[in-house]
Amino acid sequence: MAGTAPDGGLFVPETLPARSPGSFPDAADFSAVAAHLLAPFFTGSSLAVELDAICREALDFPVPVRCLETDPALGVLELFHGPTAAFKDVGARFLAACMRRILACGQLMRPPVTILVATSGDTGGAVAAAFHRQPGIRVVVLFPEGRVSARQQHQLTCWGDNILSLAVRGEFDDCQRLVKACFADPEITGIHQLCSANSINVGRLLPQAAYYARASLEHFRRTGRKPSFIIPTGNLGNGFACVWARRMGLPIGRILLATNANTTIPDFLATGSWLPRTSVPTLASAMDVGDPSNMERLRKLYPETSQLRDEVGAAAVDDSGIRSTIADEYARHQLPWCPHTATAFHLYRQLPESERRGQDWIVVATAHAAKFDEIVEPLLGCTVEPPAELAALLDLPASFRTISPDIQALVACLD
């Protein structure tokens, strides 16, 4: 419920539990795999007896691995089948199910509470959907003005009721800075009973490890081989969840992180110097992050850069590469991919032939292509139909307020 630690840093486990592949139930049952993976983190908690129910309630949509028949070494982990057509639905729904129960017992916090969330595109919509009309909770979503797709913005602003949407004149890093500043101020945090729902909140990050557990277990049991993952990443939550899953003992091979033109992560791995910077706008807007929060957790896990390089690789893809990959992959498989997913496909195609054929790869598809119709459709020359739940959201009216990127403006909206 605290989201961030009192010193402003992020919570990390003191130790990671060991989970052997043979101890898991049938990998086809996503919620059961998640409950088994996460059980050690709930030991001693009032939520321990609720964990199975939380997982069944929150993780009630498919996270399939699509096998591409023309490329037998390649699969695609589709994480866009939830209510807002993005991978953020997994963590947001899990967090909402947990918080609902915590507030109901009234031991840690009493309603009303305010969930403050910065989004580069998909997080805010998933959190709004997960907490919409939930009694005793207000959600305040900050997104960078003009830096998300039209359909993403609609998903961020179509809720009303207990959801307040704020467009910040700036970039995602400004939104993230405002959220962290509020949490670092005891008076603001106390008055509004602030909670977080970004991947800075460990309660949103942990369930994301579960889809890597399920995908790797399913592949390992079928083939006897550990799959490697290529993961689009911005704030590094999605990629770091895979790192955690592997450290806990899941059968995962290599982990490659795909970024857009915001190259903070690959530059760090190349040089050993951590140099956060102002983000630049790209076609993969949800990954436009210049100071990824979860690098703090990754550097805690691997303090030495040389050790980190042995565990994780990263490379950047520019907008030209994103455009060509969207078109090329559609020509190969007649499947439309979003700009973020395209960064991962680009990395896969750039691998040396020996690496591509020498092991099994799973590309992580983070959002439905229909969320980025203005980018994808002209490249494909066809219409990408939105999933039914996304189409229903696009029919709702939208409203938001615009604020300057300073804490006083944000606090004025909270009061």
How far apart are the C-alpha atoms of 213 and 249, rounded to whole Å? 9
Extended beta strands in 4-119, E state: 65-67, 74-78, 113-118
Average the pLDDT over 17-21 and give the result: 95
Q: Where are the domains of the chain?
A: 61-86+205-392, 87-200+395-414
Q: How far apart are CA 243 and CA 169, in angstroms?
A: 34
- Nearest CA to 175 out of 409, 1, 415, 399 is that of 409
Tell me the pLDDT tens digit for each residue of 354-401.
888 889 999 999 999 999 999 999 999 999 999 998 999 999 999 999
Nearest to residue 180, comparing CAs of 116, 256, 274? 116
The tens digit of pLDDT for each residue in 64-114 reads 999 987 777 899 999 999 999 999 999 999 999 999 998 888 766 666 899
Instruction: For Cα atoms 117, 151, 57, give the angle at the middle one, nearest 5 degrees.
Output: 55
pLDDT of residue 232: 98
Distance CA 238, CA 191 (A): 32
Taking each helix axis from N to C end, the angle separating 150-157 and 123-131, rounded to the nearest 10 degrees, works out to 30
- Report, as an integer, the average pLDDT of 193-204: 86
Please state whether the predicted TM-score (pTM) of the whole model is above 0.75.
yes
- What's the pLDDT band for 120 if we cut at 50, 70, 90? confident
Contacts of 212 (CB under 8 A, 6+ apart): 229, 241, 242, 245, 246, 250, 252
273: confidence class by pLDDT, cuts 50, 70, 90: very high
Tokens describing residue 359: 């092991």
Please indicate whether the domains covering 61-86+205-392 and 87-200+395-414 agree at the CATH topology level.
yes
Mean pLDDT, residues 178-199 taken together: 88
Percent of the chain with pLDDT over 90: 78
Mean pLDDT of the chain: 93
Q: What is the pLDDT of residues 206-230, one digit of tens each?
A: 999 999 999 999 999 999 999 999 9
Judged by phi (left if over 0) then psi (alpha if -120 to 50, else beta), residue 271 lies in alpha
**Is 300 an active-site residue?**
no
Handedness of CA 337, 341, 342, 346 (dihedral sign): negative
From 88, 180, 226, 300, the catalytic residue: 88
In this predicted structure, what is the pLDDT of residue 254?
96
Q: Which residues contact 141 (CB under 8 A, 6 or more apart)?
A: 117, 119, 124, 127, 128, 156, 163, 164, 165, 166
Domain 61-86+205-392: state its class.
Answer: alpha beta
**Strands (DSSP E) found in 265-408:** 313-316, 361-365, 401-403
Choose which CATH entry (2.60.120.10, 3.40.50.1100, 3.30.300.130, 3.30.110.30) describes domain 87-200+395-414.
3.40.50.1100
Tens of pLDDT, residue by residue over 158-172, are: 999 999 999 999 998
The token pair at 5 is 């630690």
Residues 6+ apart with CB under 8 A from 122: 84, 86, 87, 88, 152, 286, 366, 367, 371
3 contacts 201 by C-beta, under 8 angstroms: yes
Number of neighbouring beta carbons within 10 Å of residue 185: 14
The CA distance from 248 to 239, in Å, is: 15
Note the pLDDT of residue 83: 92
281-293 residue pLDDT tens: 999 998 999 999 9
DSSP state of 28: T
* pLDDT over 80 (residue 122): no
Q: How far apart are CA 158 and CA 172, in angstroms?
A: 20
The count of residues in the chain is 415
Q: In terms of Cα–Cα distance, which of 41, 16, 372, 407 is closest to 188?
A: 407
| CA neighbor of 66 nearest in space, from 350, 393, 375, 329 | 329
Q: Whole-angstrom distance between the N-terminal and C-terminal Cα of the chain?
A: 21
Residue 412 above 70 pLDDT? yes
Residue with tokens 């101020």: 185
Determine the Cα–Cα distance for residues 193 and 139; give it in Å rounded to an integer.
Answer: 12
Binning pLDDT at 50, 70 and 90, where does residue 173 land?
A: confident
Residues 6 or more apart whose CB falls under 8 angstroms from that of 414 comprise: 114, 140, 182, 188, 192
The pLDDT assigned to 71 comes to: 74
